[in-house]
Amino acid sequence: MAHRTPLYEAHVAAGAKLVDFAGWDMPIDYGSQIAEHKAVRDNVGMFDVSHMAVVDIHGPDARAFLSAVLANDIAKIDDIGRALYTCVLNTRGGVIDDLIVYHLASERYRAVVNAATAEKDLAWLHSQARGRDVEITHREDLAIIAVQGPRARELAGQAMSDETADAARKLKPFEGFATDGISIGRTGYTGEDGYEIVLPGDRAHDLWRRLQDVGVTPVGLGARDTLRLEAGLNLYGQDMDEDRTPLESGLGWTVAFKPAERQFVGRDALEHMRQQGVSHKLVGLVLEGRGVIRAHAAVRAADSDEDDPDAADGEVTSGSFAPTLGCSIALARIPRDWQDTVEVRIRDRWQPARIVKPPFVRHGKSLIEPD
Amino acid sequence: MSDIPKDLSYTKTHEWIGNDGDGTITVGITDYAQSSLGDLVFVELPETGTKVGAGDGVAVVESVKAASDIYAPVDGEIAEINEQLADSPELVNEDPFGQGWLFKMAIDDETALGELLDADAYKGVVDDAED
C-alpha cells in the first residue's frame, strides 16, 4: 500500500482525486485544478506536501559538512533563521536533488527534500558524512503544510497562536524560525508569498482544519505543478536530473563558485564544463498558437529544414497550459545559441513558440511581454 | 459516480451519441471522460463537410493534464461543430451531455447505430476502467 500523510482522511473527506505520487497517495485536485490554481494566485491556498522528506542535520561538523555537500554556500546563511535554495551534486556535477535548507539553531540545520529522491538523498548524505561529527535524521514524524497566495500570511496568522503568528509575520522572504515543535519558513514553490510550515504529524490535521475554517482553499498537486511552472521553478526529474549540471538547467545562479577555496562535490566537473563551454541552456517558451506543450516534446530551430537531423536538438522538460496566462508555456533545454523563436512539436505539427526568460508569472502578474 | 443518460448510445472510447432522428447524430464525450481528463483548455474540432469513417480520430480535447483523441463513432460526414467551444472549452466539463456537445454528423447508414453500446453496456466499460 502507498504511504499516506496524516492528512489523508481530510483529503478524502474534501472529495480529493487521489493519485500515486512517488509511492504516496496524494491529492491531484479537489475538483478543479484551474480553480485551485486561481485560488492561490488571487487569494490563498494550502498544500499538503508531507510526502516531501524533512532531514535534520546537526552536530559540531554540520556546517562544514553542508559546505562540502551543497553547491550553494551554506556560509550565506550563517545568521540563524535564514534559508537557502541549493542543489546537491554528484561528482560529475549532475543534480542528485534540489532542496531548501534552513538554519534553525546553532549547529542545527533542516533540509526539505523531494519525495521521490528522499531515499537516494539520505544514502548520499550519510555516505558523505562519514568521518564527520554530524547526525543526519530523517524526520518521518513530521508533516508539511504550504500556505501560498497574496493573503497567505494574513490568513495563516489567524490559524496560529498569537505568539507564533507574530513571529511569522516578521519573517522576511527566505527566513524561518522554529518554536514549540514547529518550524515556519517564508518560502514557497508558487511565485506567491506564503509559508511552508513543518509540524508534528499528529498536529497537522488540527492546523489544516483551522486554515480551512479561516478560508484557505485546499489545493492539489496538479495546481502545484502549473503554479511552479508559471513561476519558472524547476521540477526535479523533469527540468534537472543526475545527467545534467545546474549550468545546463537554468540553475547556474544557485552554484557558489566563490570563495574559490571552498571545495564542494561536483565543483571540479562544473569548472571543467565552464572552461569547455556549456552547449545547452534551459529557457522558457510561450506557445504562439493554440494547443498545449507537453514534457519531452521535440524543439527545433525556427525555420528548420525538414531534412536536417540536427535541427530538432531541443527538448521540452516541462510543459503545460498556464491558467494565469491563458496559453501554453514550457521549460525547454535547447542549444546555447538559439535565440528568440523556436518550433515545438505538438502531436503531429510543428508550432512556433517564443523564447522568454522565466519566470512567466510573479505575484499574480504576467511577466511575459506581449508580441 | 458518473452520469450515464439512458437515452444515448456510447463507444468504448467514451464518446456519447445522440440520434437526432433526421439522419444526423450529435457526438460528445461522457461525464466519466470529462471528469477523468480534468479541466479542458482547448478543443480542436474537424471542419464541416469532412468525410469520416468509424474509428477515425476527428477531434482532440486537451485538458491541463493530457490530450485525448475523439473518434467518429460511425461512417458519415461532419455536418456541424460546436463553435462555442473555441472560447469556452469548459462547457464540456460543466455540461458534457448538453452545451458541451462536440460535433454533429450526417450518417451514411442508420443501422450502424445498432452496433454502439447502450447505457448499461457502457456502465460496464466505466466500471472496468475504475477498477
Q: Which residues of chain A neighbour B57 with C-beta distances below 8 Å? A: none
Question: Distance, in angstroms, between A220 CA and closest chain B CA?
Answer: 12
Q: Which residue of B has its CA nearest to A289?
A: B42
Q: Which residue of A has its CA nearest to B69?
A: A347
Interchain proximity A294–B67, CB inside 8 Å: yes
Per-residue model confidence as pLDDT tens for chain A (371 residues)? 789 999 999 999 999 999 999 999 999 999 999 999 999 999 999 999 999 999 999 999 999 999 999 999 999 999 999 999 999 999 999 999 999 999 999 999 999 999 999 999 999 999 999 999 999 999 999 999 999 999 999 999 999 999 999 999 999 999 999 998 999 999 999 999 999 999 999 999 999 999 999 999 999 999 999 999 999 999 999 999 999 999 999 999 999 999 999 999 999 999 999 999 999 999 999 999 889 999 999 999 987 877 776 677 999 999 999 999 999 999 999 999 999 999 999 988 999 999 999 999 999 999 998 76
Is a pLDDT exceeding 90 seen at residue B1?
no
Q: Does B1 touch chain A (CB under 8 A)?
A: no
Q: Which residues of chain A neighbour B67 with C-beta distances below 8 Å? A: 292, 294, 347
- pLDDT of A371 reads 64
Max CA-CA distance within chain B?
Answer: 40
Under the phi-then-psi rule, with left for phi > 0, alpha for psi from -120 to 50, and beta for the rest, what region is A149? left
Burial bucket for residue A306 (CB in 10 Å: 0-12, 13-18, 19+) = exposed
Question: Distance, in angstroms, between B64 CA and closest chain A CA?
Answer: 6
Whether the Cβ atoms of residue A103 and residue A79 lie closer than 8 Å to each other: yes
When CB atoms are compared, the residue of A32, A226, A291 closest to B42 is A291
- pLDDT of A309 reads 66
Contacts 24+ apart (CB under 8 A), A271-276: A273/A93, A273/A245, A273/A247, A274/A247
Q: Which residues of chain B neighbour A33 with C-beta distances below 8 Å? A: 38-39, 64-65
Q: Does A109 touch chain B (CB under 8 A)?
A: no
Q: Which residue of B has its CA nearest to A34?
A: B39
Cα-flanking dihedrals φ and ψ of residue B113, to 5°? -65, -25
**B71 against A308, higher pLDDT:** B71
**Three-state secondary structure call for residue A142:** strand
Interchain proximity A222–B62, CB inside 8 Å: no
State the Rg of chain A over Cα: 21
- pLDDT of A306 reads 73
